[in-house]
Amino acid sequence: MTKFTASTQPLEQTEGDVIILKFFEDEKKLEPKVKELDQKLDGEISELLQSGDFDGQMKNTATIYSHGRIKTKRIVLLGLGKKKDFNLDKLREAITYTLPMLKKFKAKSISILLSKILPHSTDLKTTVQAMTESIFLSSYVFAEYKNLKEKRVDLESIHFVLNQAAHKANAQKGAHDGLIIANAVNFSRDLANRPGNHMTPQALADAAIQMARQNKIKCRVLEKSEIKKLGMGAFLGVNQGSPLDPKFIVLEYFGKKTGQPTVLVGKGITFDTGGISIKPSRKMEEMKFDMCGAANVLGIMKAVSELKLPYRLVGLIPATENMPSGEAIKPGDIVKAMNGKTIQVTNTDAEGRLILADALSYAARYKPKAVIDYATLTGAVIVALGTDYTAALTNDEKLFSKLEKASKQSGEKIWRLPLAESYREKIKSPIADIDNIGTQEGAGTITAGLILQEFVTYPWIHLDIAGTAWTTAPQPGKPIGATGEGIRLTLEFLK
């Protein structure tokens, strides 16, 4: 576990492997602490800046070796880009560019100078939290299945050098929270990166039970017989083709004894073949990620409990595979969801909305003040928004404006799509209440949202994370594989 410390001591007296100094592109003047350090280093910092060899642009870095002139071995200059464009998310990005260096240096202890780089509206705690998150999110490696393990950057200590002693507690708190949050995201990434043969509904339930036990969260796993008794016919219909039993995972966190809870629902398809409406084989292996919504719910609950936040929170995860077989559900079959509505399953690959139909119906029993669901629900959302934006669909304006703020603060991007009234007609089936794909041309993400809405009786946000839940090309802070996107957004939203 990384240790965090903070002090106002001069940089030249700071011990460790690396000192990180941050510079804007358009600022050549050294702040007092850096000026002192520069003198001890015979003016090497100012020389680098004046020569233009280091220009403070985003992604730009430079290393100075101290050769015993100060107590730390290396000084890394880190570019932040233009001051006027700078924000919390740029800071997160900039920090990620130090990681390859820290790795190469095999750094164990680093020091970061915390100068005033963000506008006054952003407090120091938030700044430190963002930096800490960024360090631990970008150093994530999934190596569970490798014999030759790639090492995560293993930092024993991070020391924050402050200009004012009064900021110490805030820096410590920011680092403490940032580490909890990054660990929760990485926990979620670990679950989602496991392949379908290991991350089965049972394995997902076991992971939930274990996480809950470690975090004073109540956890109950409903077995197939109970799922039947509850009348979750849509969820059972999806499970029908799989030799593995479904699990309905219920988690409850009591950060507060009373009051209406917020309920989080996560799609837990541990592998989506499409069922009888089978998917093409190209990229089908990525459908192990079809439980990223479930992994998000587990990550959020872990973080909320470790942060000891004073809420009531419920997590619901319907978990099953979607498989073809002689017993599988067939196109045209009709199932009845827990709320009594009947659904014609025209396409067995539109299974997420079926399992969520029952989970959202179940959520009503908590009389929730809000429900958020996370689902890798539609390929169409990638067509609409690409891989940087999560689609948000909601029946509640207030919830949305809160979510939008949380998005700005966390840097996890969302874009609202309408629950278009005019398309509602199109989800009707001639012989059942609802058709699971409907007849609307295009707008697949909206259609899916409208279908979910049929099972909702409370303020609700649906997040379609099909484009954002995993990445096939590394991005700043997001190594290849599951991203855990939606967790930091929600933690900010809950605050």
Select the binding partner of residue 319 from ligand BES, Zn ion, none (C-beta < 5 to 8 A, by kind).
Answer: none
Distance CA 462, CA 396 (A): 11
Considering only residues 38, 89, 93, 349, which one is a binding residue for ligand BES as defined by CB under 6 A? 349
Contacting ligand BES within 287-316 (CB under 6 A): 290
Considering only the stretches 19-27, 176-184, 355-363, 370-378, report the one whose residues sit in contact with ligand BES under the rule CB under 6 A: 370-378
Contacting Zn ion within 46-65 (CB under 5 A): none
Asked whether 37 and 55 are in contact (CB, 8 A), the reply is no
What is the smallest separation between the CB atom of 471 and ligand BES, expressed in angstroms? Answer: 12
* Residue 79 or 444 with smaller CB distance to ligand BES: 444
What is the smallest separation between the CB atom of 247 and Zn ion, expressed in angstroms? Answer: 17
Sign of CA pseudo-dihedral 70, 76, 82, 83: negative
Asked whether 54 and 142 are in contact (CB, 8 A), the reply is no
Sign of CA pseudo-dihedral 206, 207, 212, 215: positive
x/- binding map, residues 260-279, to ligand BES, per CB under 6 A?
A: ------------x-------
Asked whether 122 and 112 are in contact (CB, 8 A), the reply is no
* Residue 240 or 376 with smaller CB distance to ligand BES: 376
Considering only residues 134, 239, 376, 390, which one is a binding residue for ligand BES as defined by CB under 6 A? 376
Q: Which helix (H) or strand (E) holds 434?
A: strand 434-435
Distance CA 374, CA 266 (A): 5
Select the binding partner of residue 378 from Zn ion, ligand BES, none (C-beta < 5 to 8 A, by kind).
Answer: ligand BES
Considering only residues 46, 347, 395, 440, which one is a binding residue for ligand BES as defined by CB under 6 A? 347
What is the smallest separation between the CB atom of 392 and ligand BES, expressed in angstroms? Answer: 16
How many residues bind Zn ion, per CB under 5 A?
Answer: 6
Give the DSSP letter string of 242-282. Answer: -SSPPEEEEEEEESSSSSPPEEEEE-EEEEE--TTSPPPST
* Residue 305 or 436 with smaller CB distance to Zn ion: 436
Which residues have C-beta within 8 Å of that of residue 59, sequence separation ≥ 6? 79, 97
Distance CA 6, CA 16 (A): 13
Number of alpha carbons in the 13 Å side-chain half-sphere of residue 124: 19
Considering only the stretches 133-141, 167-175, 212-220, 371-379, report the one whose residues sit in contact with ligand BES under the rule CB under 6 A: 371-379
Catalytic residues: 279, 353
Considering only the stretches 41-49, 253-261, 309-317, 344-352, report the one whose residues sit in contact with ligand BES under the rule CB under 6 A: 344-352
What is the smallest separation between the CB atom of 383 and Zn ion, expressed in angstroms? Answer: 16
Does residue number 290 form part of the binding site for Zn ion (CB under 5 A)?
yes
Record the tokens describing residue 376, joined without a space. 């890798």
Q: Which helix (H) or strand (E) holds 110?
A: strand 109-113
Select the binding partner of residue 128 from Zn ion, ligand BES, none (C-beta < 5 to 8 A, by kind).
Answer: none
Asked whether 426 and 439 are in contact (CB, 8 A), the reply is yes
Beta bridge partners of 6: 160
* Residue 7 or 440 with smaller CB distance to ligand BES: 440
Q: Which helix (H) or strand (E) holds 460?
A: strand 460-464
Q: Give me the helices (H) in 282-428, please.
A: 292-306, 352-363, 380-385, 397-410
Considering only the stretches 112-120, 291-299, 351-359, 400-408, report the one whose residues sit in contact with Zn ion under the rule CB under 5 A: 351-359
x/- binding map, residues 452-491, to ligand BES, per CB under 6 A?
A: --------------x-------------------------
Q: How far from 329 is each of 302, 334, 351, CA to CA, in Å?
A: 35, 9, 10
Place of tokens 């991005």: 475
Considering only residues 378, 387, 453, 490, which one is a binding residue for ligand BES as defined by CB under 6 A? 378
Does residue number 352 form part of the binding site for Zn ion (CB under 5 A)?
yes
What is the smallest separation between the CB atom of 464 and ligand BES, expressed in angstroms? Answer: 9
Considering only residues 25, 44, 190, 272, which one is a binding residue for Zn ion as defined by CB under 5 A? 272
Sites of contact with Zn ion (CB under 5 A):
269, 272, 290, 349, 351-352
Sites of contact with ligand BES (CB under 6 A):
272, 290, 347, 349-352, 376-380, 437, 444, 466
